Amino acid sequence: MAFKQVSSPHAHAAQNTSQVMKLVLLATIPGLAALTWQFGWGSFINVVLASVTAVCCEAAIVKMRGRSISFYLGDYSAVVTAVLLGLALPPLAPWWVVVVGTVFSIVVAKQLYGGLGYNPFNPAMVGYVVLLISFPIQMTTWVAPLALLPAGAAHPGLVESLQIVFAGYSPADGVTGATPLDVFKHSSGLLVDQVYDREPLFNQAMFAGAGWEWVNLGFLLGGIVLLSQRIFTWHGPVGMLGALALMSIIFWDSGSSSSPGSPLMHLFSGASMMGAFFILTDPVSSAVSNRGRLIFGALIGVLVYVIRAWGNYPDAVAFAVLLANFAAPFIDNYTLPRTYGHTDRRRATEKEED
Amino acid sequence: MSRTWVTPGGVHPPENKHQSLTQPIGQLPIPEKLIIPLSQHIGAPATPCVEIGQQVLKGQVIAQATGVVSIPMHAPSSGTISAIEHRPIAHASGMLAPCIEITTDGADTWIEHEGISDYEHISPSKLIEMVGNAGISGMGGAGFPSAVKLNPGRQRPIDTLIVNATECEPYITADDSAIRERAGEIIEGIKILSAILDHPTNIMIGIEDNKPEAIAALAPHVEDSGISVVVFPTKYPSGGEKQLIYILTGKELPAGKLPADEGMICINIGTTYAIKRAVIDGEPLISRVTTVTGDAVGTPRNYDTLIGTPVRHLLEHNQFDEQAGGRVIMGGPMMGFTLPSADVPIVKTTNCILAPSYAEIPDDDPAQPCIRCGMCAEACPVSLLPQQLFWYAQAEEHDRLEAHNLFDCIECGACSYVCPSNIPLVQYYRAAKGDIRKAREEKVKSDHARERFEFHKERIEQAEREKEAKRAARREATQQAKADHLAATASGGAAPSAPATATPASAVPSSSAADIIAAAQARAAAKQANPEDQRAKLERTIASAEQRLKMAEEKLAEAINDDSGKQDKLSAAVENTRQKLEQSKSKLAELAE
């Protein structure tokens, strides 16, 4: 009798990386549903188009690298990147915007660095920023939310949307419009209350901008599901949302004309919730320890607010995340947990214990 | 009930303990052969004190302890010593180690033995000696000689005695069933320990809440005994020594310290039973409770197994189905190691033989990339960052690994258990620890060599300086002599015979430099003059070189046989020796001419 030689542990929990990725995909459904409900078919088309492109790119690169295509496509990481990018892009953006962004995300930001697990920057955000800088017009044209459509008008149907995306048809008048963060960016001279009174985007809304608040609630719901499934810990999202709330409270300025907006608006507008639960929780490019992730999240929260309030862009999750990606190794150096039996936490680069 | 503390991390793998608890502890027929490894413990292997062919009785000493940190071995049954040789043993590497084989006679005749019941009036040192002579080593995990653990000579008195009945590994029920059936004797053993340790104030039995029957069995025996049974929630790995100490006392054992440094002793509950048998009954440690379980065996249950019983014997008596599973594990599914074959014997630390079916423990899926999801860090009971350790282990960055406290890893396997990418993390850590230990040893060696070299250099320089000083002195002396001579010729004016007399005069002037030169010349001349000595010396050199060559060639042949990877080095050495030999031979030939 000769037995198989395997090293311990022999038992293994049933979860695998593919399942983690699939769960993340499922958790985006509430957000995608809210986007589709409030802004029409555009986001759905983005997501599908980006996914197809991502799978093709991933397969091509994996083949060029001489690896097993089925094994590497089976981890679903390319689809997750594509879906997140698709959700972040403006609905009804031209097809080539989506394709260029996805190719950049998968080929340059992910595979050229070594594939899954080796990318220092969040691939979806790299794709997004490349597009934002290269094609500012296409990237800042947002569809108006359901509540703000002209009387009798509706979002284009699926066929019409496909024509707009692929054949360059122009959407009907009134279908595009500003976002809540755009409004605040350009509303100097008005008190916050006045903005809320005058702007249909706010006076048609509950608390943070018509349509956007639903989208953010959708992503919040998905995020809570992932949190309850222990896909990630609370540290990153709480760090970011906490810092964002804190910043917007500190600079709220009791709603004066120079106020950058209320905490509620900042938490539930733009990409806040999606960023907090789906973008900065990318474990590959974030800090490692729980404490590190709390600081990493807080840094993103602060940066998002700073760029929104005083920078040139209305929203800033992508820039904030990439900047924090740069800082992650630095954060890691100082945030090692204290190990059992040691009096102090150590630094990752120290040579000998004090 | 006492307060307990909660350790960070931990996992909850399926317990699978009920399968082996349906029947009481069983007894197997005595196996035909018993194989007793000489090293079943931490420390020096025991030294055999029997000969092949010798009759031994059950309980007779067959190997003596070697030094202080060692234990003796006893014959687990009566019979004849049939071999003393290397055999495969229960070791993760599948290595061979020296063993004594006993062919049993089936009579199971005990050697004369007697214990003492009045242990309260025996000195602790005498009790410790009894424990040592009974060959008891820790039966929970590492197998540290118990007598050494209990021996005083420590800085501070022991105020806390922790008895580890956690048994947190899935499947294993050896301690559980032993407590159910032998609670009285176990408590007796703990009382002996208490006497040895001069009655510590806290005596706690730590046990997980998944063993209600065992807890109930202990209850009547601990009443008014000062021993408390502390029950805490089931979580793997609560049974690690460091984890249990924290759970029961809220104190962390500082890195690099032993429990005794903190006034604590932690001992496995199976060991306390062995101590009772040793002291009260005078029986050495020759059997232990071992769980045989897993879906590949017909009837999972516990056996009182003789030390040295081949695993094959256990499996065959349990309708083991070889086709059902691929591996047989000694220990549990988290920290146990696979056996190379069924021929390895049960040792003093073997608490479980697990033969899982493929359905229970399937073959591993290929590892996917690490995405640093951090689930491993959440599971780590000592708050490490397993994902970072993995990266640095791959990159062989030893400094980083040490900064991340690699050596605090207890190899419990919780990280690998939860890893969604199926990465064999613990294996990376084991390999990295081995590499670092090797690098440390090499550093010590190279430091030593460097010191020697620097000392050598210093010595040579010193000698050179002394020589230089002598040369300078000589030069000065010569110049002085020349000057004297010139002065003499100049002042003498007419002294034609001067050169003739001056030579001896200038050479002789009792300057030490001249003496040295003369002595050296004399030595050289003597050497030249004595070819006999020179020949004898060369012949000696040749003889020893021939001897060396022969040995080197033998070693090389051995290495080629073993395929040990040393061939290159050894063949270079052989070549070297051969060249030296030839050089000496040709010199001898020259001399003969």
- The answer to whether position B360 is within a domain reads no
- Start-end of H helices in chain A: 17-27, 29-39, 42-64, 69-73, 77-88, 95-103, 123-134, 136-139, 158-167, 180-185, 192-198, 200-203, 212-228, 235-250, 263-268, 272-274, 290-310, 317-334
Q: Is B69 helix (H, G, I), strand (E, B) or coil?
A: coil
Examine the domain organization and report whether B327 and B384 are in the same domain. Answer: no
Look-up of token digits 């706010």:
A202
C-alpha separations of B120 from B36, B117, B197 in Å: 33, 8, 12
CB contact under 8 A, B339 and A337: no
Residue B2: inside a domain, yes or no? no
Asked whether residue B564 is domain-assigned, the answer is yes
* Residue B587 structural domain: 530-593
Ramachandran quadrant class, A76 (left: phi over 0; alpha: psi -120 to 50; beta: rest): left
pTM: 0.81
Other Cβ atoms less than 10 A from the Cβ of A73: the count is 17
Q: Judge contact between A4 and B364, C-beta under 8 A.
A: no
CB contacts of A337 in chain B (<8 Å) are 377, 383-385
Is B232 found in the same domain as B107?
yes
Tokens in use for A249? 């409270």
Which of the residues in chain B have pLDDT under 70?
A: 1, 152-155, 492-514, 524-530, 563-566, 592-593
Same-domain check for residues B30 and B155: yes
Q: Which candidate from B327, B336, B402 shows the least CB-CB separation from A3? A: B327
- Would you kindly state where each structural domain of chain A is located, as residue ranges? 15-176, 178-334
Q: Quick check: B100 and B38 in contact, CB under 8 A?
A: yes
Is the same domain home to B262 and B183? yes
Tell me which chain B residue has its CA closest to the CA of residue A8.
B335
pLDDT tens for each residue of A246-260 = 999 999 888 787 788
pLDDT of residue B90: 82
Pairwise CB contact (< 8 Å): A10 & B329: yes
> Mean pLDDT throughout A108-123?
94
Q: Copy the structure tokens of residue B78.
A: 């009566």
**Cis omega before residue B72 (within 30°)?**
no
Interface contact A288, partner B, CB < 8 A: yes
| B380 and B245 inside one domain | no
User: How far apart, in whole angstroms, are the C-alpha atoms of residue A38 and residue A210?
Assistant: 9
Quote the CA–CA distance of B149 and B128 in Å, as a whole number.
10
Same domain, B230 and B178: yes
Residues of A in contact with B327 (CB under 8 A): 3-6, 10
Judge: B242–A341 Cβ closer than 8 Å, yes or no.
yes
Instruction: Let me know whether B264 and B389 are in one domain.
Output: no
Residues B403 and B316 in one domain: no
Identify which of B582, B87, B533 has the alpha carbon closest to the alpha carbon of residue B342.
Answer: B87
| Structure token pair of residue B473 | 């002195």
The minimal CB distance from B13 to the residues A11, A77, A288 is found for A11
Distances (CA, A) of B197 to B120, B132, B144, B501: 12, 15, 17, 94
pLDDT at A177: 76
Contacts 24+ apart (CB under 8 A), B147-155: B147/B71, B148/B43, B148/B68, B148/B69, B149/B260, B149/B265, B149/B267, B150/B193, B150/B196, B150/B197, B150/B265, B152/B124, B152/B125, B154/B260, B154/B261, B155/B261
In a domain, B361, yes or no: no
CA dist., res. B378 & res. B386, Å (int)? 9
List, for residues A170-186, the tens digit of each pLDDT value.
877 767 777 888 877 77
Q: Pick from B340, B361, B368: which is nearest to A2 by CB? A: B340
Q: Are residues B578 and B521 in the same domain?
A: no
Set of chain B residues whose Cβ sits within 8 Å of the Cβ of A7: 92, 337-338, 424, 426-427, 430
Quick check: A77 and B377 CB within 8 A? no
Same domain? B309 vs B444? no
Across the range A202-213, mean pLDDT stands at: 81
Compute the half-sphere exposure of residue B288: CA atoms within 13 Å on the CB side of its CA: 32
Contact residues on chain B for A6, CB-CB shorter than 8 A: 327, 338, 364
Residue B13 lies in a domain: no
Residues B335 and B429: their CA atoms lie apart, in Å, by 14
Among B253, B293, B368, B382, most A C-beta atoms within 10 A, so best to mutate, is B368
On whether residue B12 sits in a domain, the answer given is no
Residue B474 lies in a domain: yes
> What DSSP designation does A89 have?
S
| B535 in the same domain as B417 | no
The residue among B69, B64, B151, B74 whose CA lies nearest residue B110 is: B74
Hey, are the CB atoms on B372 and A288 less than 8 Å from each other?
yes
Residue A131 CA to residue A108 CA, distance in Å, equals 13
In angstroms, the separation between the Cα of residue B464 and the nearest Cα of chain A is 40
Interface predicted TM-score (ipTM) of this complex, two decimals = 0.88
Q: Does A341 touch chain B (CB under 8 A)?
A: yes
| Closest alpha carbon to A217 in A142, A279, A282, A267 | A267
Q: Would you call B81 helix, strand, or coil by DSSP?
A: strand
DSSP state of B236: B
3-state secondary structure of A53: helix
> Is B593 part of a structural domain of the chain?
yes
Q: How far apart are CA B266 and CA B142, in angstroms?
A: 12
Say how many domains are in chain B.
3
For residues B379 and B294, state if they share a domain. no
In chain A, which residue's Cα lies nearest the Cα of B15? Answer: A11
- Contact between A53 and A82 under an 8 Å Cβ cutoff? The reply is yes
Nearest beta carbon to residue A351 from set B13, B399, B417: B399
As separate numbers, helices (DSSP H) first and strands (DSSP E) second, chain B gives: 16, 17
Question: How many angstroms separate the CA of residue B75 from the nearest CA in chain A?
Answer: 27
Residue carrying the six token digits 């510590």: B200
- For residues B34 and A212, give the distance between their C-alpha atoms in angstroms, rounded to a whole number: 76
Q: Give contacts of A9 with chain B, Cβ < 8 Å.
A: 333-335, 413-414, 416-417, 426
Contact A275, A240 (CB under 8 A): yes
**A346 in contact with B at a CB cutoff of 8 Å?**
yes
CA atoms within 13 A on the CB side of B192: 35
